[in-house]
Structure 1
């Protein structure tokens, strides 16, 4: 278990002034100390659920002993946020980081490097629960504080990149995202040069912006540059490499360059880990056209189709297995599926066809 969780609550406890307690405080204080010991023991043993139980009990008790606005209770909230991160309890992660920062603000603590890091954690936690507005709010605060503290350009670039990603995931914020990504790219280029992996990460985001603005040729050039750097700096089959290939499949398909698209479909197939066992998923998809007649009378339905993915990652031999309103939607569904692209399967080092691939396409009208 990471040492990050071992925030030394005990040392805070013993530094608290004795007059801060009511008469029953010593026994309550002993309970907090015992809970902290149990918390540390659970972490050491790798028992995150046990640690979580102790952390929750501490969190409930520290306001009684030390007050709700106290460094000790702030630390208890921080411990819970960290544990929630490990356990992938995303809403709790954001809630407890927020509580921690609120207490620090109420205590008027110094806005230093540690406080900056916690702002970054809170912004990231909100983004993971799709609260982009909150992520942007704290991401902007973090970036502003980073500049105010005069931290290294490397750290400033990281906060620029993070804020850009929050804008990117917010509707209508593409231009704001682009500005942040461009600043990050420029900082990384100045610090490390254009062939550094951090510079490539910023360029990757700029390429995604190009995709969003339908500038596919520019996007392809950027993704190809990113891929060159990733191939030099990362191990074969790394997720970042595979993801870049997948984006290149998309942009080349949109450009109508089947040959280049196929090249990257094959690259995903040959470069992904040997123990790759995820279900076959498309690298490139398009949405089917909703038949006009069905739109007109409000008909909805779905098609479950079976098909073969050939050795080049293309779809063929599509047939409908079942569905609702098949006669209405089958033609549109099949036309969309025929344009999907996949990474072909590899058997004994050779690309082979994959038969029996299933996909469901749902036709559903938005509520009026």
Structure 2
């Protein structure tokens, strides 16, 4: 069978194109093929390879390679697209996110340097986004949150978090708002700027997730746990208990023990003991006992205990003392048969 001239020409063109591509790839990998290629083509191929490797690292969840290839892709992207290109700042955001990941192999100075580098990348992206999309654009939320989370000045971070929340509120996109509110809450909950407004970020996000997500959604359960903790700290036990019970009920359906499930059981032991409800407390003690420990040689850790009262007479006279006690932990996890072994400072400490 003879091929038509048009088909034969098409085949030859395809073969030549394939050969040319193979030569270009070989040169970009350092092969001595003897063919020439322009610096622009080499840059395009090396960038393409780095970005492809970055995406593969993300798919493999390989943090070391994510950091390595996001850095390479960003550096090559700046040469390819220019410093102020949207493509370049997006590559910078990828690199900033990789720099922001916790790395326990770093010392304090190295961790601070990485955080500072990530912060500058977020600021660079924010500046370009604000020119491209506008100061109050939804697109600017990501670099705003990144800048806040990596800001060493917590006061400035609070301002950036607030700006991100304000933009999300104006977007009329409730799920976006809830996500931004929880980011702001997590970023400020342990700072001196934690206040009623920050607290309300979590409560608002919880209401949004309740309306828009199923009961077993991880986002919803994480926020439920957070709001339960807030209620417990504020002394609102009647609100905290059903929220913790919800978390326990959903995670109990899994084939493995989740840390939120364990933490919720522990809080419920404390809450029910505080109410004098030994039966409910025992139920959660038994549930914890049925869970697998994280380490085989892990020591027992008290889930709930009353704070010891320092003897008033000893306190008035400035007397120090201590007491050593032996006890038995029964099958339900409760302390029984306490016995004083040694003490110092008088019987008031016993």
1:134 and 1:279 map into 2 onto residues whose CA distance is 42
Task: Verify: 1:212 aligned to 2:229, yes or no.
Answer: no
1:149 and 1:54 map into 2 onto residues whose CA distance is 34
Residue 133 of structure 2 is matched in structure 1 by 110
Conservation of the 8 A alpha-carbon contact between 1:35 and 1:55? no
* Residue correspondences, number: 297
Aligned equivalent of 1:243, options 260, 263, 270: 263
Task: Verify: 1:267 aligned to 2:287, yes or no.
Answer: yes
Give deviations 1:43-98, integer Å, cap 9, x for gaps: 85787557756767888999999998776875675344333344536645643332
2:133 aligned counterpart, secondary structure: coil
1:330 and 1:56 map into 2 onto residues whose CA distance is 66
2:304 aligned counterpart, secondary structure: coil
Residue 148 of structure 1 is matched in structure 2 by 170
Task: Verify: 1:81 aligned to 2:104, yes or no.
Answer: no
Structure 2 unaligned segments of length 5 or more: list them. 1-37, 105-110
Conservation of the 8 A alpha-carbon contact between 1:80 and 1:96? no
1:150 deviates by 3.6
Distance 1:63 1:328, change over 3 A: farther
1:48 and 1:200 map into 2 onto residues whose CA distance is 26
Distance 1:295 1:146, change over 3 A: farther
Residue 99 of structure 1 is matched in structure 2 by 120
Pairwise CA RMSD: 4.9
Distance 1:321 1:94, change over 3 A: farther
1:328 and 1:178 map into 2 onto residues whose CA distance is 44
Residue 20 of structure 1 is matched in structure 2 by none
Structure 1 unaligned segments of length 5 or more: list them. 1-25, 336-368
1:241 deviates by 1.8
1:98 and 1:261 map into 2 onto residues whose CA distance is 46
2:133 and 2:296 map into 1 onto residues whose CA distance is 49
Residue 119 of structure 1 is matched in structure 2 by 144
Give deviations 1:103-124, integer Å, cap 9, x for gaps: 1233334255553234334445
Distance 1:291 1:64, change over 3 A: farther
Give deviations 1:323-365, integer Å, cap 9, x for gaps: xxx7259986xx8xxxxxxxxxxxxxxxxxxxxxxxxxxxxxx
Conservation of the 8 A alpha-carbon contact between 2:185 and 2:198? yes
Task: Verify: 1:279 aligned to 2:298, yes or no.
Answer: yes
Taking structure 2 as the reference length, what is the TM-score of the superposition?
0.61
Residue 206 of structure 2 is matched in structure 1 by 185
- Structure of higher CA gyration radius: 2
Aligned equivalent of 1:257, options 270, 277, 282: 277
Give deviations 1:266-286, integer Å, cap 9, x for gaps: 11221x247764723332345
Distance 1:105 1:115, change over 3 A: closer
